[in-house]
A and B are shown apart, each in its own frame.
Chain A
Amino acid sequence: MDSHDIIILGGGLIGQTMALALDVHGLKSVVIDPVDPAGTLTTEFDGRVTAISSSSWKMFDAIGIGPRMREEACPIRRIEVRDGADGRPLDFETDDMADPLGLMLENRVLRRELWAMIQKAPHVTRKFGVTAETLDRGDHRVTACLSDGTTVTAPLLLVCEGRYSSTRDAVGINVAAWDYASMSIVTALDHAIPHQNIAHQIFYPGGPVALLPMNPGTRSALVWSLPDDHAKAAMKLGDRAFLAEVSRVTADILGDLSFAAPRALYPLHFRHTAKMTEKRLALVGDAGHGIHPIAGQGFNLGLRDVAVMAEVLVDGARLGLDLGDAQLLARYQRWRAGDVMAVTFACDSLVRLFGLPGKAARAVRRFGLDAVQRAKPVKDLFMSEARGESGNLPMMLQGLRV
């Protein structure tokens, strides 16, 4: 029987970042994931990109992968939001001197760097391609029997299984869930007119279209959300017809378009859990909140979970506390709940605000857009920091170790 400080179920982007955030502080974890990413680490661009907020990036710096990835990331200097129905723009600019609003990073770069770091991490035990066959959360420890015949124990289990987390469902944490009956088509496009580090979001009743700047300066990621049937139909279009549709919905902002990656389709769901902890267990990342990608916040929210959890556990270990102690889990829950709730519902209400068809709705939306302009929720979402416990920003989101 192998004992660790933490068992991490799920070695996706969040699970791996969690393990590294603990590793740099000397806490021992074992990461268990049925999928072995070694086989899926393609060197070719797969079209997936993620907007990483500046504070999330600081955590990558604290872990040590930030500087290496920075050269490959494309800064967002400005976000332009429009109502697609009449094209009226609303600017959200960043201060020239300050950090960029966010950095666009190809998921494959992030996967590659995390994976390389995980291989070298002295306090991480890797169990990829392995499933947890039984899981027992006892009074003193969590014990997992694994498909490779080994047994691991730790005082705490972190569930980083993504939005369809079966462990979360099995322990009976209630999830408010609905389906937006829409899907996102994700791809990357090369374009004639340079993007000048501007991200565009154009809202239509069927869903938003986002163009996100990438390197080089004539490539952007497309995230186009549409009702299910429209999305499926658009996937079936030939390349030229599809690009013509994109030019139309983006009002030709970027000039002539061509594909830089294949198209991929992602269904959009909403998942919210009021409770992120149970006895000797906590949810981290999408397992605790699956949100609409309308403001590109899902991963950032998960990284904030990671930063807070790392700080709570490192502080706890320095006090000699049992890492599964109810007081530590309560601190994580208190610190995260407000932030997760605010971002989740802001994204959902953006979807609703812009998802209403018809003229009256446009008037409401116009009113809404004025409200948007005043409240700047999109910008706030981008710039939002971990709120909660006396508004304290966790150390790792300041680029520091705990």
Chain B
Amino acid sequence: MSKASTTTTIDAAEAAHFGKLAADWWNPKGSSAMLHKLNPVRLEFIRDAIDGHWSADGSSFRPLTGKTALDVGCGAGLLCEPLARLGAQMTGVDAAPESIAIAATHAAEGGLAIDYRCADVAGMAEQFDLVTSMEVIEHVTDPADFLAALRDRLADGGLMVLSTPNRTPKSRLAMITLGEGLGAIPKGTHDWDKFLTPDEMQDLLRDAGLVAGEMRGIAFSATAGLHLSDDLSLNYIFTATRA
């Protein structure tokens, strides 16, 4: 195994940016509209990964019953809530206190028991069967340290699912020039230079003592909207397990 995972990788400016957006996070028509559209697509991948990893029945409604799960960079809980409904005993951590406050209120009002903490994954001690982190690694100060911290939170036999934008001319055009330019994605959300290619990701995972499983692209087309695809050029989602 590689480095210790106790150094913080939180970028304070990034955390503050997302904190400001928190209030609108649960509005499907607000500044997070894109995230709401993305959510079912991510969940489709995650559900398949869960069924595959634990040989769960694909038609069941609560495949995560009896499992613990951690979402790192949980924002207002867009992913935590579905995972809790799927039966997981759920923990969500985020660096922005505003997001955690919104997340906790939303879950309580919806009758979902989720343990939300304003915390750095690097400072945590417990381990979880499922560890997820969607669109976070491109925002941290040191991706290698961040992956090491995620790895340390993974229980034996656990499953990790991550997603992140690819660093291609297409992703720059789609996510920054068009997405942020036209207002579909809040301005200042992305720093293209920090995006990682799938090859770079494979190297980082290996160095962290993890093996990548299946990688799928999240692509966009006018007819199908956002969908899972073999085209990784925009955004990709993948599983990882301990080596």
Contacts and interface: CB of A to CB of B under 8 A. Distances in A.
A44 interface: no
B37 interface: yes
B44 A322 contact: no
Contacts of B36: 325-327
A327 B43 CA distance: 13
A139 B223 CA distance: 30
B110 A322 contact: yes
Interface string B66-109: 00000000000000011111100000000000000000000001
B104 to A, nearest CB: 14
Given A140-B109, A327-B28, A327-B37, A320 B58 contact: no
Contact of A319 (B28, B47, B224): B47
A321 B86 CA distance: 9
A26 interface: yes
B224 A390 contact: yes
Contact of A320 (B82, B109, B111): B82
B109 A319 contact: no
B55 interface: no
Interface string A126-154: 00000000000001110000000000000
Nearest to A316: B40
A317 interface: yes
B109 A139 contact: yes
A120 interface: no
B37 A320 contact: no
Contact of A318 (B58, B81, B111): B58
B82 A319 contact: yes
Contacts of A328: 40
B82 A321 contact: yes
Contacts of A26: 61
Contacts of B177: none
A140 B82 contact: no
B2 interface: no
Which of A25, A317, A320 has the most C-beta atoms of chain B within 10 angstroms of its own C-beta? A320
A327 B224 contact: no
Contacts of B59: 25, 318, 402
Contacts of A318: 47, 58-61
Contacts of B189: none
Contacts of B229: none
B40 A320 contact: no
A390 B227 CA distance: 13
Nearest to A402: B59
Given A26-B61, A140-B110, A326-B28, A319 B40 contact: yes
A319 B223 contact: no
A39 to B, nearest CB: 36
B106 to A, nearest CB: 8
A320 B110 contact: no
Contacts, number: 51
Contact of A327 (B39, B86, B223): B39
Nearest to B107: A140
B110 A327 contact: no
A328 B47 CA distance: 17
A374 B221 CA distance: 35
A317 B224 CA distance: 21
A320 B28 contact: no
A184 B11 CA distance: 71
A197 B62 CA distance: 48
A346 to B, nearest CB: 24
A390 B224 CA distance: 8
A319 B44 contact: yes
Nearest to A401: B59
Contacts of A316: 40
Nearest to B80: A320
A140 to B, nearest CB: 5
A26 B60 CA distance: 9
Given A139-B109, A327-B36, A327-B39, A322 B223 contact: no
A7 B31 CA distance: 30
B43 A320 contact: yes
B40 A321 contact: yes
Which of A25, A140, A322, A328 has the most C-beta atoms of chain B within 10 angstroms of its own C-beta? A140
A139 B28 CA distance: 11
Given A140-B109, A390-B224, A320 B84 contact: yes
A327 B110 CA distance: 17
B29 to A, nearest CB: 8
B85 A320 contact: yes
A314 B94 CA distance: 31
12 contacts: A140-B110, A319-B44, A319-B47, A319-B86, A320-B85, A321-B39, A321-B40, A322-B81, A322-B85, A326-B28, A327-B36, A402-B59
9 closest A-B pairs by beta carbon, nearest first, are: A320-B82, A326-B28, A320-B85, A319-B43, A320-B86, A140-B110, A317-B61, A140-B109, A327-B40
Interface of B: 28-29, 36-37, 39-40, 43-44, 47, 58-61, 81-86, 109-111, 223-224
Given A318-B60, A320-B82, A327-B39, 17 more contacts: A26-B61, A319-B40, A319-B47, A319-B82, A320-B43, A320-B81, A320-B84, A320-B85, A321-B39, A321-B40, A321-B85, A326-B28, A326-B29, A327-B37, A327-B40, A328-B40, A390-B224
